[in-house]
Amino acid sequence: MSKNKQDLGPYRRKQFQTYFQFSLIAICFVIIFVLFYACTGSSKNDIDYTDAKVIQMDEPADDSPVVVFETNKGTFKAVLFPDEAPNYCKFFTGLVEKGYYDGTYVSMVQDGVYFIGGTKQADGQTTSDTDTTTIEAEYSKNLWPLKGALCAYTQEQGHLFSKKKVSNSYLLFVDNYDLTEEEQAELDSKLADSNNIPEDITDAFEKYGGVLNFSQQYTVFGQVYDGLDIYDEICGADVADSETLKPREDIQFTKVYMSTYGENKNSNAFAGSADSSEVSESAVDSADTSSDLSLRLHGVRLSRPPAKAVCLHIPAQENSFPRCKT
C-alpha cells in the first residue's frame, strides 16, 4: 500500500505542476485582457477639442430639421443636428413621424438641472408599448449641454468586457446650473491649465448657462430655441416628492411633430442676446453645499462641491434616470 503511494507521488507532483502552470498562464491572460480593456475603454470617448465650435447658437439653415413639442403647458421647439448625431437623429425622427411621443409625459424634473420626457407613463415606468431600442451613444465636440440642449438619455450597457454607452427613446432636456463666484474662479484656473478646450466653449457656458458635468455623458442632438418661457415653466415645475422627482401635476407632450426651421424661424434666439441670468430664473433656487460631487468638464474637476443640485452620474439600471442631490 505504501509502495503504491510512493509510486504515485512523482505523478501527482507532475500533475500539480502542470495545473499550476496552466493556472498562471490563464491568470496572466486575464490580467492582460483586463488591462487592455481598461486602456482602450478609457480612451474610447477621447476627443480632440482644439477646433471645437459651439454650433447650437448659430442660426440654422431654413431646411434644418425642427421638432415641435406641443404640451399641456404650451409649445416649444428645438432644432436638430443630424450631421453631429446622425444615428440618433434618424432614430428619433422615425419615432416622431410614427407619433410615438404623442401623449407621452415629463416624468422627472430636477429644478435647475434637467427634466426627463418622452415616457409612456407619468411615473416614467416602462410599458409594453415603450420603445426599448438602443442606439450607441454619439458624442460631438460641437454640441454641448448648454441650457436648452435636447439630449437622448444615455446609460452603460453590457458586461465587464464589452461595456458601451447607449441611448434610448427617453429624452433629457438640460436646464441651467449657475456656478458660484468661487467655483467659477476655480474652474477658470483649472481650464487655464488645459490646452485642448477652446475658450469659446467655456464662454458659451458662462453666457448661455447649462450643466457642465453632463458634457460627453449624454447624446446631445438638438437645441431648444423657441418657446423658452414654456420650457422654463416645465424646468421649474413642482414635484410630488424629492425621491421620484415626478411633477406634482401631469405634464404631457400632447403632440410632437417634425418641421423645418424655415417654417419656424426665430432669429432673435440666435442673435447672441441670451444671457445666463435671463435664461433660467429657476436655476438660482435652493442650494445644498453638503453635496460631495464635483463638476466635471472633460477631465477638469472642481475640488469643491457645487452649491446646488448636481446629478449623480450612476451607471443606470433599467428604467432608472440620473439621480440628483438637492
Residue range 37-89, pLDDT digits in tens: 555 444 445 667 777 888 999 999 999 999 999 999 999 999 999 999 999 99
Interacting residues of 124 by C-beta distance below 8 A, sequence separation 6+: 105, 107, 108, 116, 246, 319, 321
Tell me if 168 sits within 8 A of 117, measured CB to CB: no
- Distance of alpha carbon 287 from alpha carbon 245, whole angstroms: 17
Q: Among 200, 180, 221, 286, which residue's Cα sits nearest to residue 90?
A: 221
What was the pLDDT predicted at 58?
Answer: 93
Give the domain ranges of the chain.
58-325
Name the region of 298 (left: φ>0; alpha: ψ -120 to 50; beta: rest): left
What was the pLDDT predicted at 54?
Answer: 87
- pLDDT tens sequence across 110-124: 988 999 999 999 999
Question: Which residue stretches of 214-274 are H helix?
Answer: 228-235
Taking the model in full, what pTM does it have?
Answer: 0.73
pLDDT at residue 295 above 80? no
Name the region of 205 (left: φ>0; alpha: ψ -120 to 50; beta: rest): alpha
Tell me, which fold does domain 58-325 have in CATH?
A: Cyclophilin (2.40.100)
What was the pLDDT predicted at 285?
Answer: 40
Report percent pLDDT > 90 for the chain: 49
- pLDDT tens sequence across 27-38: 766 666 555 555
